């Protein structure tokens, strides 16, 4: 595991910290200020626990059972029971990076000093993360209100030494065995601690942070592939002129247009339609080419809004009840996932539309009636060869899937807990479908890259030189094992390699070696 260390303090965390812990295995360390804040808040909880008046989460039941006062002799059992009963997830195991993000973000809230758990509980969570132990969390179980209850409960169960977890080697074993093997003592939960471990938006937030990182790469990649398609179709780059985008000043639109213009700098293909085809001058390109900055840019602006929401949530302490600096312990509704759920759904919508316009350009490259002189389906010997015909089918199937995933989850609500929790966010569901959409979008962009680079090479064979940045993208893609034009071959390995090339940021890196950093 990476030995980079992320220090968890009292004032939230950053998206970069989440990525480092979730994906890069960074170690976690509690700051001295966090330990002090934990201890101070715990003193408040202990004082309230000693009083006869009931306090929610300290000396009462939970949810619809909050009216029952729980005596001191049953409170440890109460906290254990909430974890055990709420660890009720079903379905496939959630990805390791999601669980690590979930745990880290819960630790971030614990360290704020607003939850009332003892410092040793937070330290145990940090120890579990640092040992590379990943609780088994299931796909289904969160309604995105009262937090991601079931997923967080499965994590809390591991802290207690119960349930199953995945070790650093990827083997699933009883959590108690894994803790013992790493010298970690299971926690004995006290007043409020079980509830505090379960009550947050951490799962949906972690998935939002990672989706934003992935989409930033994909939007830059899509600007590049759109430029490659424009070039292959002998389109005009005049529509990318900054003065045209300055009069409609959406920030993302200007960024995408600038990216495309920089990729196309020095191209011998753009604007050469009449010279190559002998046709009358083409005044305008099709919308999927001409309006790429507008569509890509609107998505970029949505990402900016998503980052704003994520940053606010990363600065939050989400729990119920919360411990306030003046010593009050107050119930609240901050666990409701609506702010995060909405933006997760919004991102699924723009991902679907980016996939849609990307596929339209691919189809245009393959259609001899609209590709301005390219061979049918970019085939080597059309008729004998089918070229990329079915690659576009695969891309179209992915686009259709993304459109289904764009249906919002956050507009749904199913009442729970005997109507006490009568409106929920479904933010976890929104996050899960966004992860699927992001994976599909990378594949869609990869198919356009595969088609556009082949088309540019076919143009180059006729003596027309692509832009230097385009040439760099083609050369890097070929070096990655993705073959160029020629007779039909087994396409699936090429498409898989193109997908990895895009997802891993290699397309952006290859182009930036020529253009300098793209936005």
Convert the pLDDT of each residue in 443-491 to its tens digit: 999 999 999 999 999 998 778 899 999 999 999 999 999 999 999 999 9
Mean pLDDT of 279-296: 90
CATH code where residue 256 lies:
1.20.200.10
One domain for residues 260 and 183:
no
Last residue of a domain, one of 142, 169, 200: 200
The model's pLDDT over 52-94, given as tens digits with 9 standing for 90+, comes to 888 887 888 777 778 888 888 899 898 999 999 999 999 999 9
Measure the CA–CA gap between 409 and 153, rounded to whole angstroms.
22
Measure the CA–CA gap between 210 and 215, rounded to whole angstroms.
9
Task: Please report the pLDDT score of residue 71 as a whole number.
Answer: 86
One domain for residues 195 and 238:
no
The partner residues of 135 in beta bridges, in order of sequence, read 165
One domain for residues 170 and 263:
no
Domain count within the chain: 2
User: What domain range includes position 481?
Assistant: 207-515
One domain for residues 191 and 215:
no
One domain for residues 121 and 249:
no
Measure the CA–CA gap between 229 and 110, rounded to whole angstroms.
49
Dump strand ranges (E) for 229-321: none
- And the tokens for 117? 């758990």
Is 140 one of the catalytic residues?
no
One domain for residues 302 and 243:
yes
One domain for residues 403 and 489:
yes
- Match 């220090």 to its residue by tokens: 7
Q: Chain-wide mean pLDDT for the chain?
A: 95
One domain for residues 320 and 463:
yes
Kindly state the percentage of the chain with pLDDT values over 90: 87
**Which residues contact residue 504 at a Cβ distance below 8 angstroms, ignoring those fewer than 6 apart?**
none
**Which residues contact residue 368 at a Cβ distance below 8 angstroms, ignoring those fewer than 6 apart?**
374, 375, 376, 382
Last residue of a domain, one of 130, 165, 200: 200
One domain for residues 441 and 351:
yes
Task: Tell how many helices (H) and how many strands (E) occur in the chain.
Answer: 20, 9
Q: What is the largest CA-CA distance in the chain?
A: 91
Last residue of a domain, one of 179, 200, 221: 200
Measure the CA–CA gap between 207 and 12, rounded to whole angstroms.
17
Kindly state the percentage of the chain with pLDDT values over 70: 98
CATH code where residue 176 lies:
1.10.275.10
One domain for residues 383 and 252:
yes
Measure the CA–CA gap between 156 and 83, rounded to whole angstroms.
7
One domain for residues 445 and 299:
yes
Residue in 56, 287, 342, 393 annotated catalytic? 56
- And the tokens for 519? 């936005």
The model's pLDDT over 156-209, given as tens digits with 9 standing for 90+, comes to 999 999 999 999 999 999 999 999 999 999 999 999 999 999 999 999 999 999
Whether the CB-CB separation of 56 and 321 falls below 8 Å is answered with yes
Whether the CB-CB separation of 152 and 102 falls below 8 Å is answered with yes
One domain for residues 365 and 498:
yes
DSSP letter assigned to residue 200: S
Task: Please report the pLDDT score of residue 3 as a whole number.
Answer: 60
The model's pLDDT over 313-340, given as tens digits with 9 standing for 90+, comes to 999 999 999 999 898 989 999 999 999 9
């Amino acid at each position: 595991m990476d030995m980079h260390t992320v220090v968890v303090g009292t004032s939230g965390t950053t998206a970069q910290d989440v990525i480092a812990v979730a994906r890069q295995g960074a170690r976690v360390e509690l700051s001295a200020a966090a330990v002090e804040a934990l201890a101070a808040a715990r003193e408040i909880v202990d004082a309230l626990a000693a009083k006869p008046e009931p306090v929610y989460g300290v000396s009462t039941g939970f949810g619809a059972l909050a009216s029952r006062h729980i005596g001191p002799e049953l409170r440890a059992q109460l906290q254990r029971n909430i974890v055990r009963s709420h660890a009720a997830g079903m379905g496939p195991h959630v990805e390791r990076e999601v669980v690590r993000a979930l745990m880290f973000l819960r630790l971030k809230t614990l360290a704020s000093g607003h939850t009332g758990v003892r410092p040793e509980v937070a330290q145990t969570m940090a120890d579990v993360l640092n040992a590379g132990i990943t609780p088994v969390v299931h796909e289904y179980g969160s309604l995105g209100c009262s937090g991601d209850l079931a997923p967080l409960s499965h994590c809390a169960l591991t802290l207690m030494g119960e349930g199953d977890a995945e070790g650093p080697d990827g083997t699933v074993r009883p959590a108690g065995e894994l803790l013992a093997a790493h010298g970690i003592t299971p926690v004995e939960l006290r007043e409020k601690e079980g509830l505090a471990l379960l009550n947050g938006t951490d799962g949906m937030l972690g998935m939002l942070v990672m989706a934003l990182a992935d989409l930033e790469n994909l939007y830059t990649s899509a600007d590049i592939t759109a430029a490659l398609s424009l070039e292959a179709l002998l389109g005009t780059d005049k529509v990318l002129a900054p003065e045209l985008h300055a009069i409609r000043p959406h920030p993302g639109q200007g960024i995408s247009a600038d990216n495309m213009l920089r990729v196309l700098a020095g191209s011998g293909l753009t604007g050469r339609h009449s010279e190559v085809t002998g046709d009358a001058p083409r005044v305008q390109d099709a919308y999927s080419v001409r309006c790429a900055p507008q569509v890509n840019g609107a998505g970029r602006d949505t990402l900016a809004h998503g980052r704003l929401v994520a940053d606010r949530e990363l600065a939050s302490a989400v729990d119920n009840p919360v411990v306030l600096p003046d010593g009050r312990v107050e119930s609240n509704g901050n666990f409701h996932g609506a702010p995060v759920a909405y933006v997760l759904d919004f991102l699924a919508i723009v991902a679907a539309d980016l996939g849609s316009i990307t596929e339209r350009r691919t189809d245009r490259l393959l259609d001899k009636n609209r590709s301005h002189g390219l061979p049918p389906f970019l085939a080597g010997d059309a008729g004998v060869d089918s070229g990329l015909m079915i690659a576009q089918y695969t891309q179209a199937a992915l686009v259709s899937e993304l459109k289904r995933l764009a249906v919002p989850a956050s507009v749904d609500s199913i009442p729970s807990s005997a109507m006490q929790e009568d409106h929920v966010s479904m933010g976890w569901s929104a996050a899960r479908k966004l992860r699927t959409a992001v994976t599909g979008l990378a594949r869609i962009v990869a198919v356009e890259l595969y088609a556009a680079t082949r088309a540019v090479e076919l143009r180059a064979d006729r003596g027309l030189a692509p832009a230097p940045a385009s040439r760099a993208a083609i050369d890097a893609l070929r070096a990655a094992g993705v073959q160029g034009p020629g007779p039909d071959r087994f396409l699936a390995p090429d498409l898989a390699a193109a997908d990895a090339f895009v997802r891993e940021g290699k397309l952006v890196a290859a182009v930036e070696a020529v253009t300098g950093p793209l936005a």
